[in-house]
Amino acid sequence: MKLRLIKMKSVKSTNDIAIRLIKKKQFKPTLITSVKQRKGRGTMGKTWISMKGNLFISIFFEINSKKINFKQFAILNAYLIRKTISRYTSEKIDIKWPNDLLIKKQKVCGILQEIIDYKEKKFLIVGTGINTNSSPNILDFKATSLRNMSKKDIDSNKILKDVKKAYEKFIHQIRKYDFVYLKKKLK
């Protein structure tokens, strides 16, 4: 299953663009990325600070809500993103439930899932912010970047391609296998 790729220069939020596309009946599974994100969001209304040079993406696709539940997707998305970005650091990446990836107890990635009901269809939007080359200074928690942990420049476009390829395979597999099988493969 190929994902349509939309690259933008500046958006309020990549998840907002995904919602807009769904409401315009553009249902083809899509990955949206932007160089700049002015008002990224996290769970429970928190703000995601989108620093220049990092990777901001949203992926959306239709789901069968009778076969799959939201919590299962939350688990699998965290495993999938962790597996993808682990190629860029030798440090262990931990999952902090439900939506953060940490290296040495510092946030390197946030994942925001949203379910959108539209025209009797359900869509999952997976918004992901990955601190590839810089990390914000935030009082509430410590953050890091893949560059800080690997001590080398990180190519956000390479990670984008890797994430796209991983989700193309993932979307294809969720139609073939059950979640227990997929979870074992992603660990």
Strands (E), 3-105: 4-11, 30-37, 40-41, 47-48, 55-63, 93-96, 100-103
pLDDT in tens, 108-131: 999 999 999 998 899 999 999 999
Taking domain 8-186, whether its CATH number is 3.30.930.10 is answered by yes
Strands 55-63 and 47-48: unpaired
Mean pLDDT highest for which of 22-26, 49-53, 134-138, 181-185?
A: 22-26
pLDDT in tens, 157-186: 999 999 999 999 988 887 665 555 555 666
Dihedral class, residue 55 (left if φ above 0, else alpha if ψ from -120 to 50, else beta) = beta
pLDDT in tens, 29-84: 999 999 988 877 766 566 666 778 899 999 999 987 666 677 788 888 999 999 99
Nearest-5° Cα angle at 30, 95 to 176: 70
Q: Is residue 155 classed as helix, strand or coil in its secondary structure?
A: coil
Q: What is the pTM of this model?
A: 0.88
